[in-house]
């Protein structure tokens, strides 16, 4: 059989998770090769072996690959486990407001300790209408720099009041620090967009504490690619399903938080071609239910905590229910989960010779799958099988009902190892899709990611006409996307959010624009 002719758009997607490292080669829309392997302790050898497998399986030479995209949970895990975090100087420019409410005031003490709890408050910042909160005081800045040098602090986070509208105080203090401490690594909060000084400041602090680790991680990614002869550009995926180039992720590692679920949803979009769907990722312990809207994950609007710290990161709206292949089956099948044997399924499940009745045992007993030793489940009663099967489908139905937009039925995409548990129709689904290669949806999601940019400002439609204001903010967003590696010609606005501000003058609005486009290198070799 003749191989389909290769397009110019061959890419590799890699997903580095806590347990598995997956890799795929995509040629345009076609999956050329896919592999799932265990994440190695050093991460790098897991990546190189995954690369070896896909390149060999796909009979693809390194030269044919245009780009490599990596999704990783390493930075989220570092925050959650309080590992690999560097000491940070957290500087807020907002005095006299916020006196007695220093940066990190509401952080859990273990993560605060891991970062050294070095906080500074300076006069400065702006009000909503552009009037200064206070002027920056040179003596305060000099004193700050003196203290940073004395303490040897080089990882620095700076946040000023209303920086998304006017970042000048952050930039000015940063320049002075850079002049005095040339090797300082500085994160400015306005690069994390959204209003909410404390949440934005928290994002900047966490980001800064990850900078030395990011240097190391990105260095080892690039080494792994180089070792395998891949000299094409490499990108890392972020939480909104778009990409960052290596330099960008070195500066903004915190933007990778929650990229895993996003990649899984984006991968489901690619595998099925569906733009609007509910995606159910069934694992060993939980099923994560998310929503694709226009090909991208629907975002959560609540305050997101990462490692116990409030942040303003963009995260997909996901609900997790306690149903997976390892879920415990109790009460003659009336209850399934939320307890699970998890990764011990292969020793504790009945079909594997164990003694715990799990969802997988029910599946095998029902004759819908041939896993382990099916003779071991022959004693399970017909009514337990029926009841448990009904319970599992009802749990999924309820979750899908809650997540689907509007009252109409919607296509449902099943991914993940536990997708086999769905043996009947789902009430809320107009169709059920089970794409091949669903097991590596995350890596596919990483491989197809685009480049985005987002900007936000408080505007007054009384002073600036609405169209001009939108144009201005869109231009800010386009500049950010282009800086991140997007081809300006392909950029389009995918989201314009206007939030009117209560109690203020009519027309005062918080305006946020997100643009997305293709990688500027894609399709070129």
Partner 1 sequence: MKTIDIKHLDDLALGSVFLATGGGGDPHVPKLIAHEAIKQYGPVSLTKPEDVPDDAFIGTIGSVGAPTVSLELLPSLDDAANTLDAFEKYVGRKIDAVASFEIGGGNSLIPIVAAAGKGIPVIDGDGMGRALPEAQMMSYAIAGVKPTPAIACDYAGNSAAFDVSTTEIYERHIRSYSMAAGGMITAAEHPMTGIELKQSIIPGTLSFSVKLGQILRKNRGQADTLLKPLQQAFSSSIYGECRLVYTGKVVDKATQIVGGYDIGEATIEAFDGSGGKLVISIKNEYLLAKCDDRLVASVPDLITIVDYETGTPINAERLRYGQRVSVFATGCPDFYRSDAALKVVAPRCFGFDIDYVPIEDL
Residues making contact with partner 1 (CB under 8 A): 94, 96-101, 105-106, 127-129, 131, 133-134, 161-162, 195-198, 291, 298, 301-303, 310, 317, 319, 398, 401-403, 405-408, 499-510
Name the residue nearer to partner 1 (CB basis): 99 or 492: 99
Helix axes 74-81, 197-227, angle to 10 degrees: 130
Query: Would you say 429 and 136 are in contact if contact means Cβ atoms under 8 Å apart?
Result: no
Pick from 150, 137, 61: nearest CA to 94: 137
CB of 463 to partner 1, least distance (A): 14
Please give the Cα distance from 505 to 500 (Å, whole number). 10
Nearest CB to partner 1, comparing residues 128 and 213: 128
> Which lies closer to partner 1 via its Cβ, residue 319 or residue 328?
319
Best CA proximity match to 444, nearest among 7, 76, 15, 18: 15
Q: Are 234 and 67 in contact (CB under 8 A)?
A: yes
We find the least distance from the C-beta atom of residue 26 to partner 1, in angstroms, to be 30
Which is nearest to 164 in space by CA: 200, 122, 217?
Answer: 200
First to last CA, the chain: 27
| Shortest spacing between CB 410 and partner 1, in angstroms | 12
Select 100 or 152, whichever has its Cβ closest to partner 1.
100
Using only C-alpha atoms, the chain has a radius of gyration, in whole angstroms, of: 25
**Minimum Å distance from CB 514 to partner 1?**
16
Shortest distance, CB of residue 95 to partner 1, whole angstroms?
9
Tokens for 387, please give them: 């009841």
Shortest reach from residue 73's CB to partner 1, in Å: 24
**In the numeric block, which tokens belong to residue 7?**
């397009």
CB closer to partner 1 out of 107 and 257: 107
The Cα-based distances of 176 to 25, 180, 186, 209, 250 in angstroms read 46, 6, 11, 20, 22
Min dist CB 301 to partner 1, Å, is: 5
Contact criterion met (CB below 8 Å) for 92 and 188: no
Residues 6+ apart with CB under 8 A from 333: 362, 383, 384, 385, 386, 387, 388, 389, 390, 391
Of 256 and 311, nearer to partner 1 (C-beta) is 311
Closest separation between CB of residue 117 and partner 1, Å?
Answer: 15
Yes or no: say if 173 and 158 are a contact pair by the CB < 8 Å rule: yes
CB of 293 to partner 1, least distance (A): 9
The answer to whether the Cα torsion of 270, 271, 272, 278 is positive or negative is negative
Comparing CA positions, the residue from 237, 268, 273 lying closest to residue 255 is 237
Task: Name the strand (E) or helix (H) holding 481.
Answer: helix 466-483
In whole angstroms, give the CA distance from residue 20 to residue 46.
9
Beta bridge partner(s), residue 512 = 456, 497
Tell me which residue of 154, 83, 159, 149 sits closest to 121, measured CA to CA.
159
Min. distance of Cβ 3 from partner 1 in angstroms? 44
Q: Whole-number minimum distance, CB 166 to partner 1, in Å?
A: 11
Q: Which is nearer to partner 1, 133 or 258 (CB)?
A: 133
CA nearest to 446, candidates 45, 25, 155, 78: 25
CB of 312 to partner 1, least distance (A): 10
Residue 59 or 402: which CB sits closer to partner 1? 402
- Given a contact cutoff of 8 angstroms between Cβ atoms, the answer to whether 351 and 383 are in contact is no
Smallest gap, in angstroms, from Cβ of residue 496 to partner 1? 14
Which is closer to partner 1, CB of 355 or CB of 503?
503
Smaller CB separation from partner 1, 20 or 510: 510
H helix runs in 323-448, sequence order = 345-348, 359-365, 382-403, 441-447
Strands ordered across the beta sheet of 492-500: 451-460, 508-517, 492-500
Closer by beta carbon to partner 1, 181 or else 496 = 496
Give whichever of 186 and 508 is closer to partner 1, judged by the CB atom.
Answer: 508
234/469 with CB nearer partner 1: 469
The CA distance from 351 to 384, in Å, is 16
Q: Is residue 299 within 8 Å of residue 290, measured between CB atoms?
A: no
């Amino acid at each position: 059989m003749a191989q389909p002719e290769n397009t110019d758009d061959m890419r590799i997607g890699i997903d580095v998770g806590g347990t598995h490292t997956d890799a795929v080669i995509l040629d345009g829309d076609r999956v050329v090769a896919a592999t799932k392997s265990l994440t190695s302790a050093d991460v790098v050898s897991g990546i190189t072996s995954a690369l070896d497998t896909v390149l060999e399986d796909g009979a693809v030479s390194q030269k044919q690959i245009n780009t490599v995209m990596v999704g990783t949970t390493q930075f989220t895990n570092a925050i959650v486990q309080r590992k690999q975090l560097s000491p940070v100087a957290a500087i807020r420019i907002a005095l006299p407001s916020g006196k007695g409410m220093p940066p990190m005031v509401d952080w859990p003490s273990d993560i605060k300790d891991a970062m050294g709890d070095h906080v500074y408050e300076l006069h400065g910042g702006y009000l909503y209408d552009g009037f200064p909160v206070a002027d920056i005081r040179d003596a305060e800045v000099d004193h700050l720099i003196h203290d940073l040098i004395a303490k040897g602090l080089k990882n620095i986070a700076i946040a000023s009041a209303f920086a998304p509208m006017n970042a000048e105080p952050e930039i000015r203090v940063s320049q002075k620090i850079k002049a005095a401490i040339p090797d300082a690594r500085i994160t400015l909060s306005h690069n994390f967009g959204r209003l909410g000084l404390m949440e934005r400041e928290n994002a900047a602090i966490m980001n800064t504490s990850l900078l030395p680790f990011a240097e190391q991680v990105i260095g080892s990614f690039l080494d792994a690619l180089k070792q395998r002869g891949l000299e094409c550009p490499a990108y890392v995926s972020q939480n909104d399903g778009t990409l960052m180039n290596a330099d960008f992720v070195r500066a903004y590692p915190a933007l990778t938080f929650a990229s895993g679920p996003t990649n899984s949803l984006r991968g489901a979009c690619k595998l099925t071609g569906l733009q609007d769907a509910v995606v159910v990722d069934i694992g060993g312990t939980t099923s994560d239910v998310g929503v694709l809207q226009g090909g991208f994950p629907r975002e959560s609007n609540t305050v997101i905590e990462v490692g116990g710290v409030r942040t303003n990161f963009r995260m997909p709206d996901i609900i997790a229910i306690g149903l997976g292949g390892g879920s415990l089956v109790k009460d003659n099948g009336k209850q399934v989960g939320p307890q699970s044997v998890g990764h011990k399924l292969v020793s504790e499940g009945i079909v594997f010779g164990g003694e715990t009745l799990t969802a997988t045992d029910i599946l095998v007993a029902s004759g819908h799958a041939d896993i382990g030793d099916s003779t071991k489940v022959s004693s399970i009663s017909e009514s337990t099988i029926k009841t448990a099967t009904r319970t599992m489908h009802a749990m999924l139905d309820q979750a899908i009902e809650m997540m689907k937009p509007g009252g109409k039925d919607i296509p449902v995409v099943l991914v993940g190892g536990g997708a086999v548990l769905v043996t009947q129709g789902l009430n809320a689904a107009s169709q059920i899709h089970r794409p091949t290669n669903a097991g590596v949806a995350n890596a596919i999601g990483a491989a197809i990611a685009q480049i985005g940019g987002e900007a936000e400002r408080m505007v007054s439609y009384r002073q600036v006409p609405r169209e001009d204001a939108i144009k201005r903010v869109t231009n800010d967003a386009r500049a950010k996307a282009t800086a991140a590696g997007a081809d300006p010609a392909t950029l389009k606005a995918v989201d314009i959010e206007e939030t009117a501000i209560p109690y203020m003058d009519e027309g005062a609005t918080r305006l946020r624009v997100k643009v997305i486009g293709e990688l500027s290198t894609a399709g070129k070799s």
